[in-house]
Structure 1
Amino acid sequence: MDDRLAVQLKFSELSNEEFVRRAFLLLLRRLPDEDARAEALASLRTHSLSRAGLIADLASSEEFRRLRALDDGVARAAAARATRERPHGLTAPAELDERAIEMAWTLGRYRSERRVLDVGYAFAEPVWLAGLVAAHPRELTGVDLVAREVPGMQTVVADLRQLPFGDRSFDVVFCVSTLEHVGADNTRYGSAAERDPAGPRDALRELRRVTTRGGRILLTVPSGERTGDEWYVKHSADDWRALFRETDIYVYDEEEYARTADGWQAGTNGAERVLCAELHPGRRRHELVRRLVPLSVLLSSVWVASTKPEAALARTKAGLPW
């Protein structure tokens, strides 16, 4: 029998109930809610919608478009890890939020470090959690104010301002769209409402404390214009940088993204923005090293010029540094 005919007959054997269940699981990765299930079954029963039509409707839905963007972000991150690239210049559709940008930017910088902490995991996108687990950290820990079971992750309930971990416990810390909620109204997340302006500062100090000396904090925060009614903290990019500096955290790499008419793009041309940053603990130490490196290069050049003048002359003629 022809393969296509065999597949068609196999699917024809499925009940409408089972077909609807599988279609939602495959395209939206969830079971249909009761209203959607009833509507789909009624349409199939009355033949006002074909099975292929149901698939097409699900694939053209806003929910699927967002899921596709998140999937693309995780795939972009995996490609960056494979080539050891630090993603820059990312894009995402204007009608969606910034989450796909954040996923690709941060997860793309993971380099197989052993001990990984994900801050604010409990309400993270399933696509993010699956992508993080699939990156195979040897020790993956999640911390949040409420509990959620995530296979492959050890979970801890704690306040970000008082983490129950020893100094230098993690090689990499992910903090994606979480810092701005510390000390704010978190009732929608099942936690208490509070107003602690020092919350983000105290949390940054804790993140620096639990990150190893050579470790990294991969972080995203909102940086757009304030509207006055936010239920989370919103600073400008410069204000966030000042907080990083105040808490002795060095900005190794950063990029700001804005929602424009053409989609999310790198830059500041838009009221809604997000700052993505790769942070290293010990700002003073990093800045001292940066000042000493040019000095060491200069001293090396002086030594070459004084002890090996022929080599120095040859490198100068070739346009090479000493």
Structure 2
Amino acid sequence: MHVDGLVFRIKEMADALALPVYFARGGRPWSIGYFTRKKNAIQTGIDTAAVRSGRPLPEAFGIGIDERVVEYPWLFDRLRRDGVPLGRMLDAGSTLNHEYILGRDPLRKADLTIMTLAPEKRCYWYQGYSYVFGDFRKTRFEDSAFDTIISISTLEHVGLDNTMLYTDDPAKSETNKHGFADAMREFRRIMAPGGRCLITVPYGRYENFEWFQVFDRAMIQALIDAFAPSSHELEFFGYDKRGWRRATEADVANATAFDPHSGRGRLDDRAGCARAIACIELIR
């Protein structure tokens, strides 16, 4: 095992041991024990199909947990639909690069390429997954290279300052709030006709946190227009102190976000980051 991978395992075990401390301190997002609590909630959400198209979420779902607790189960619900082949898959953003995500069907042994800006400390190439590093706005993939493209909470970073967390390349410290549209046009180019693109982004009242931004309705429309799908489905989910819930667009039009790195946007609701998300399935 790579040294960094071993260090991560040790940190993971320490976090699991600290879970009682997490609960004793009120279950604050990003405190010690949070990683384990979040991982457990996501696994349960996936395995129980907690997020299913057109159905309400369970009561008190994901209280104190960031949007991944909705995004991953939503994604697996879409991927597991009967009769829809996955084919050649691209994870644009490396959000799937977790053992407990890749180890679940239908991602287990999928023909999956994971792409992000720079190498990460953990990777699972030995399980047959491919890794590529670069900018989504201009890839080296051939036309129609993929049948399924997945981009979970990634497009809100494209064109902004990615030097804070994802790379030390100073050229990736940008202020282009419309960078996501270039990425969507590239996704269309590299997607095979009839393929699926599964996207999630934080949603609500527009706000720019420099390293990510909250999408508003006009930006969602620009995202869809850039891909020019033959059809699409759009769903919204909102968060408050009672947990995550299915929502209408109007319900979450003024939703805000909490930046866990700067503390900006903190309220007393234990939000982990976004207080609303848009989940989109686009057909090429």
Normalised to the residue count of structure 2, the TM-score between the two structures is 0.70
Which residue identity lines up with residue 153 of structure 2 in the other structure?
Answer: S
Deviation of 1:129 after TM superposition, in Å, equals 3.6
Aligned partners of 1:125, 1:89: CA distance in 2, in Å?
27
Partner deviation per Cα, 1:119-171 (whole Å, 9 max, x = no partner): 1117855433443774432x211111112432331111121001111111111
Which residue identity lines up with residue 131 of structure 1 in the other structure?
Answer: R
Show the counterpart of 2:277: 274
- SS at structure 2 position matched to 1:252: strand
Aligned partners of 1:88, 1:161: CA distance in 2, in Å?
35
- SS at structure 2 position matched to 1:70: helix
Kindly tell me the number of residue pairs found equivalent between the two proteins.
232
- 1:204–1:214 CA distance, 2 compared to 1 (3 A): same
- 1:156–1:69 CA distance, 2 compared to 1 (3 A): same
Matches within 5 A, 1:151-162: 151=125, 152-162=128-138
Partner deviation per Cα, 1:164-217 (whole Å, 9 max, x = no partner): 111111111110011111111111212431122331110000111111111000
Partner deviation per Cα, 1:4-38 (whole Å, 9 max, x = no partner): xxxxxxxxxxxxxxxxxxxxx9xxx932489x59x
Runs of 4 or more above 6 Å deviation? none
1:177, 1:221 within 8 Å by CA — same for their partners in 2?
yes
Percent identical residues = 30
- 1:141–1:203 CA distance, 2 compared to 1 (3 A): same
Show the counterpart of 2:57: 90
Matches within 5 A, 1:59-78: 60=23, 61-76=33-48
Which residue identity lines up with residue 150 of structure 1 in the other structure?
Answer: Y
Counterpart selection for 2:73 from 100, 104, 109: 104
Task: Indicate yes or no: 2:139 matched with 1:136.
Answer: no
- 1:86–1:168 CA distance, 2 compared to 1 (3 A): farther
Partner deviation per Cα, 1:74-96 (whole Å, 9 max, x = no partner): 3245x99xxxx747433532311
- SS at structure 2 position matched to 1:218: strand
Let me know the Cα RMSD of the aligned residues.
3.2
Show the counterpart of 1:165: 141
Normalised to the residue count of structure 1, the TM-score between the two structures is 0.63
Aligned partners of 1:93, 1:65: CA distance in 2, in Å?
10
Instruction: Tell me: higher relative CO, structure 1 or 2? Use CA pairs within 8 A at least 6 residues apart.
Output: 2
Aligned partners of 1:124, 1:260: CA distance in 2, in Å?
28
- 1:157–1:226 CA distance, 2 compared to 1 (3 A): same
1:171, 1:216 within 8 Å by CA — same for their partners in 2?
yes
Which residue identity lines up with residue 98 of structure 1 in the other structure?
Answer: E
Task: Indicate yes or no: 2:232 matched with 1:252.
Answer: yes
Ranges in structure 1 where 5+ consecutive residues have no aligned partner: 1-24, 41-53, 282-322
- 1:56–1:273 CA distance, 2 compared to 1 (3 A): closer
- 1:142–1:101 CA distance, 2 compared to 1 (3 A): same
- 1:126–1:180 CA distance, 2 compared to 1 (3 A): farther
- Structure number with bigger Rg: 1
1:112, 1:135 within 8 Å by CA — same for their partners in 2?
no
Show the counterpart of 2:242: 262
Deviation of 1:247 after TM superposition, in Å, equals 3.6
Partner deviation per Cα, 1:242-284 (whole Å, 9 max, x = no partner): 3312441345222111112210111134432100011112xxx
- 1:217–1:134 CA distance, 2 compared to 1 (3 A): closer
Show the counterpart of 2:180: 200
Matches within 5 A, 1:160-309: 160-187=136-163, 188-191=165-168, 192-267=172-247, 268-269=251-252, 270-271=255-256, 272-281=275-284
Ranges in structure 2 where 5+ consecutive residues have no aligned partner: 1-5, 24-32, 257-274
More helix by share: 1
Aligned partners of 1:102, 1:121: CA distance in 2, in Å?
14
- 1:250–1:233 CA distance, 2 compared to 1 (3 A): farther
